[in-house]
């Protein structure tokens, strides 16, 4: 190591290749970020305030919205700062901290989506036993387990990354400290960490996706047995928004972290990661409100109360 200097700071390239559009990108991403935060915060607020949404389905949705706010907040504020700054360096400690929270909260998001699929399975396949199976303590334990597993599983690979040597280039071709670009710069042997990252990706992406697919196969089988078309439509309508979010979230995650040869198209990975960190959290509040009649009804009542002083809003 005597012929090399030890690297302790990294430069995030971000959108440097679009330097003439930095201000426009800043305004656009800031707007999306603000709408994302307000939209998810609105879902959390109405879920807490209106008794019509005091059910396991909306309890999990509330946690999912909170997680979306946290995931996007690990990436976007730093991205916005870099768009306006010429000094885009990040220390190794800052890099690993951002990476830890991004992947731990992202992993927790996949687990919560899986729990939401299980909730829909119980509600549709076992409607009479649903209040007993998905009671309050069980829902809280499921969410706590999601948070605990998501965070604890990322601790080991993060600690191993703190022991890596960086002695060559210090430029990360990304807008946040993603794991693969960082490991690519290390002068140490990273095969073990890469295998661990891939294993965790398989577990949190493919395993949870398989559980969701199995849940929906059982749901579809149960719904098709419902004699009335209106009953089938009502049962399917409670799943459409969740299924849409699953397709968006898992599609981008599989493309970046699970597919073979993922390291050969960095620019394309950056664009797909931008969708995961910025676009999908922005769309989710609209997806859940567009497909959910009860949420739309509650929002309509709150809007009337705010604009017209309508006292008929449930508390």
Q: What is the pLDDT of residues 44-55, one digit of tens each?
A: 988 888 888 889
For residue 285, being part of any structural domain is answered with yes
Q: Is position 181 within any domain?
A: yes
Q: pTM of the full predicted structure?
A: 0.86
Tokens of 116: 């939401």
Strand partners, 10: 90
Q: What CA–CA distance (Å, rounded) separates 209 from 99?
A: 23
Residue 1 lies in a domain: no
Domain count within the chain: 1
| 126 neighbors 133 (Cβ within 8 angstroms) | yes
**Reduced to 3 states, what is the DSSP secondary structure of residue 1?**
coil
**CATH number of the domain residue 227 falls in:** 1.20.1070.10
Residue 3 belongs to a domain: no
Long-range contacts of 216-222 (CB under 8 A, 24+ apart): 216/117, 216/121, 216/243, 218/121, 218/125, 219/120, 219/121, 219/124, 219/125, 222/124, 222/125
Q: Is residue 182 part of a domain?
A: yes
Q: Extract the tokens encoding 138.
A: 């069980």
Find the domain containing 244 and state its range. Answer: 9-308
**Residue 5 phi/psi, 5° resolution?**
-95, 145
Model confidence pLDDT, tens digit, residues 230-243: 777 777 777 888 88
In this structure, are residues 206 and 257 in contact, taking their beta carbons and an 8 Å threshold?
no
Is residue 315 domain-resident?
no
pLDDT tens profile 281-299: 888 888 887 777 778 788 7
Residue 314 counted as domain residue: no
């Amino acid at each position: 190591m005597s012929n090399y200097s030890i690297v302790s700071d990294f430069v995030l390239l971000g959108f440097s290749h679009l330097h003439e559009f930095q201000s426009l990108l800043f305004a656009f991403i800031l707007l999306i970020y603000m709408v994302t935060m307000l939209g998810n915060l609105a879902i959390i607020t109405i879920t807490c305030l209106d008794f019509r949404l005091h059910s396991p389905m909306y309890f999990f949705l509330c946690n999912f919205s909170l997680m979306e706010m946290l995931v996007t907040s690990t990436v976007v504020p730093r991205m916005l700062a870099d768009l306006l700054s010429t000094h885009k360096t990040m220390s190794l400690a800052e890099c690993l901290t951002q990476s830890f929270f991004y992947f731990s909260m992202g992993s927790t998001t996949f687990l919560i989506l899986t729990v939401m699929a299980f909730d829909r399975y119980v509600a549709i396949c076992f409607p009479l036993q649903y209040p007993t199976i998905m009671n309050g303590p069980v829902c809280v334990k499921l969410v706590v387990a999601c948070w605990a597993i998501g965070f604890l599983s990322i601790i080991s690979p993060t600690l191993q990354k703190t022991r890596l040597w960086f002695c060559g280039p210090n430029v990360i071709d990304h807008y946040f400290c993603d794991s693969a670009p960082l490991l690519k710069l290390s002068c140490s042997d990273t095969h073990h960490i890469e295998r661990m990252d891939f294993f965790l990706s398989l577990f949190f992406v493919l395993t949870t996706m398989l559980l969701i697919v199995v849940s929906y196969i059982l749901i579809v089988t149960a719904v098709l047995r419902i004699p009335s078309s209106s009953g089938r439509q009502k049962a399917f309508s409670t799943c459409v928004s969740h299924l849409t979010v699953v397709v968006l979230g898992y599609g981008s995650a599989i493309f970046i972290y699970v597919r073979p040869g993922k390291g050969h198209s960095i620019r394309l990975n950056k664009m797909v990661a931008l969708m995961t960190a910025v676009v999908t959290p922005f769309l989710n509040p609209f997806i859940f409100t567009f497909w959910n009649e009860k949420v739309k009804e509650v929002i309509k009542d709150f809007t009337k109360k705010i604009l017209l002083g309508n006292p008929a809003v449930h508390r």
